[in-house]
Structure 1
C-alpha cells in the first residue's frame, strides 16, 4: 500500500497536519507500507521527512491543468490519484487529507485493500436524504439523470472524501470514471462544493465494495482548531528539542489521541452570534511598535 497527500499553499497549519498524519503511519511502518508520496507546491516544508517520503513538486501550470476545462479546483484531488496510480499501478493507494491520523491497524486495512475493498472515510447518507442546502440543491440537479454513464438514483450515497482507498485492481478504471462524472457534473453546472466527493463516492461504489475507513483513521475536519493547537505544540517542542524523525515517533507514542474530539457540530446561530459580538465589540487600545 502507498500513501498519497496533496498539500498546497503557504498555510503552515496544513503542512503541520500533513507531517503529523505521516508520522502516525510511520509509527506502524512495516512491509504493509510501500511508500509515501506528497504532492505539493511547497516542497521545502518536507525536508525534515526526506528519508521517509517522496515529494512531487506541483507547479502552478500543472495545478491549473488538473483543474480541467471547467476550472474546478478540487478536480485536482482526482488527478493526483491518477498521477499516483500511474506511478505505481500495481499497488493499492490510500489518499489522505492532511487533517487525518492513523489510530487503527495498518496491517488490517492494508489486507482489506489488497483483497479488493475500497475505502472512503465514512458514509454521510444517501444524497437524496441529506438535509443541507447544498446537498438538497445538488440532488435536485442530478436526480434521475446519468453522469459518466451512471444513473443517479435515490440510493446513491455521499461519502466523506477525507480518505480514499483504491485497490490495485481496476484502479485506473475507477479513477477515470470519477473524472468523467466530475467533468459532466461541472459541465451541467451542478452545485460545485461537493462534486469531487460525490464523483469519487459513485465511482468507487460502482467499481468495488466500499467500506468506511473511520475504524482505522481519524478525520478531524470539524475540529481543526482543537487539533491544530495540539499539533502545533507538538512540533514546537520538536523544534526546540531538535528531535529527529525517530525521536518524534517515540514522542508520538505518548500523544493522547482520545483527548481531542474528531467531530463537533456547531450551530450556525452560534457562529453568527460570535461574528456579531466581534463586530460590535472590537479590540481597543491596539498598539504597535513605533
Structure 2
C-alpha cells in the first residue's frame, strides 16, 4: 500500500492547487486503485468532496488549534509538513508514502516510482545545492542562508543518535516531493529535532527541508524523483497556475464524469510547463529580473514580447520606463 499525502488550507486558490495535485496523480496512474490511499490534510473537506467523487480519500481536518500544535513551540509554518507526514504514517501503519506539496502536479505515471521503493532507499524531488553554495549568495537576500551555513559549520546537533555534525559539502534536496518508505517513520523524531535546532537561530524557511535532506542522505540511499512530478514553487508560476485553475476548475468541471475530469487534468499537466514559459506574467518577471541584473538587452527582449501579449499593464510599463531611464543614465 502507498499513501498519496498532501495538505491544503486557507483559501480557495490553495484548494484548487491541491485538486490539481491529487487528480493529476490519478490522471496518470496505471496501477490498481486499491493499492493507493489519498490522505488530505485540510480545513475544507467539503470543498474537495464535490470534486473527488470516485476516489477514496482519508480527510484529516486541520483546525486552528491543530495547526498551532503542528507549528510547534518555534511557530514555524513548514514544521507542519513533518507533523502531517508523521500522522499519516501513524494512521496507516506499514504503508509507504508519496508526499507532495500542493504546488505540484504529476506529469507521468507514478507506478514505476512506487515499484522502485526499497528498504533503505528514499526519494526527494531533486538535488538543489550543496550548503557551501550558500556562501556565494549576496546580502541581504542570502542572510538566512549564510546564517544556516555558519550554524552547521560552528555547531553540532542532538538527534536520537546522539551528537551529530554536518558539513558544507552536504546537500539540500527539494522537499516539495518525497518518497518515504514506511521505515522512515522511525526517523521523524530526528527531523523534528533538527528543524527545532535549525529554525530559531537562522530564521531560514527551508529549515525543515534541510532537516529532511540531512536525515535522509545520512541514513538512506537518496534518489531524485523529478521525472514524475513538476514542482511550481516559484511565486510567479503560482500566480499563473491560479489563473489557469480558476478557468479550469469551474461549476461545469464539477459536473463532469470522473473519467472526463481526469482526462482534462492530464491534458492540463501536459500544457502547463509551456504556459509558464510564455505567459505574460512570466515574461514580465523575466524582464524585471534581467533589468535588475543590468542585462538590459535581454530585459528589453522579454519586455517587448510581454507587451505584445499584454500591452495594457501600467505597473509593468512603469518598471520598463524606470529601467530604461537607469540604462540611459549608466550609458
TM-score interval (norm. to shorter): 0.7 to 0.9
Deviation at 1:54, TM superposition (A): 1.7
Q: Which has the higher helix share?
A: 2
3-state SS of paired residue (1:37): strand
1:276: Cα distance to partner? 9.8
Find the counterpart in structure 2 of residue 228 from structure 1. 242
Structure 1 unaligned runs (5+)? 282-290
- TM-superposed CA distance for 1:228, in Å, is 2.4
| Residue pairs, 1:197-208, within 5 angstroms | 197-208=209-220
Partner in structure 2 of residue 286 of structure 1: none
C-alpha contact (below 8 Å) 1:17/1:228 kept by paired residues: yes
The 3-state SS of whatever aligns with 1:249 is helix
Which structure: larger Rg? 2
Shift of 1:162: 0.9
Among 247, 267, 288, the residue aligned to 1:254: 267
1:269 positional shift: 6.8
Q: SS state of the match for residue 105, structure 1? A: coil
Q: TM (normalized to structure 1)?
A: 0.84
In the TM superposition, what whole-angstrom CA distance separates every residue of 1:40-80 from its partner, at most 9, and x where no partner exists? 11222211215422211111111111111121121111001
- 1:98-113 to structure 2, matched below 5 A, reads 98-113=102-117
* 1:21 Cα deviation from its structure 2 partner: 1.3
Provide Cα deviations, 1:239-274, integer angstroms capped at 9, x if missing partner.
267213222012234333342348978465758995
Match of 2:170 in 1: 156
Task: Count matched residues.
Answer: 276
Compute the displacement of 1:122 (Å).
1.2
Question: Is contact 2:53-2:258 (8 Å) kept?
Answer: no
- With the length of structure 2 as denominator, give the TM-score of the two structures: 0.75
Does the 8 Å contact 2:25/2:109 carry over to 1? no
**Cα gap change, 1:54 to 1:241, in 2 (>3 Å):** closer
Distance (whole Å) between structure 2 residues aligned to residue 251 and residue 122 of structure 1: 28
* Conservation of the 8 A alpha-carbon contact between 1:121 and 1:214: yes
Q: How does 1:164-179 map to 2 (within 5 A)?
A: 164-169=178-183, 171-179=184-192
CA distance in 2, matches of 1:240, 1:51: 14
Question: Which of 258, 263, 269 is residue 245 of structure 1 equivalent to?
Answer: 258
1:213 aligns with 2:246: no
RMSD in angstroms over aligned alpha carbons?
A: 2.8
What pairs with 1:187-206 in structure 2 (closer than 5 Å)?
A: 187=200, 189-206=201-218
Conserved? CA contact 2:41–2:61, under 8 Å? yes
Q: Cα–Cα, structure 1 residues 233 and 137, in superposed 2: closer, same or farther, change >3 Å?
A: same
1:41 to 40, 43, 49: 43
Q: Which residue of 1 aligns with 2:22?
A: 22
List runs of 5+ in structure 2 lacking aligned partners: 294-298, 300-314, 323-331
Partner Cα separation in structure 1 for residue 122 and residue 149 of structure 2: 24
Distance 1:240 1:46 in 2: 13
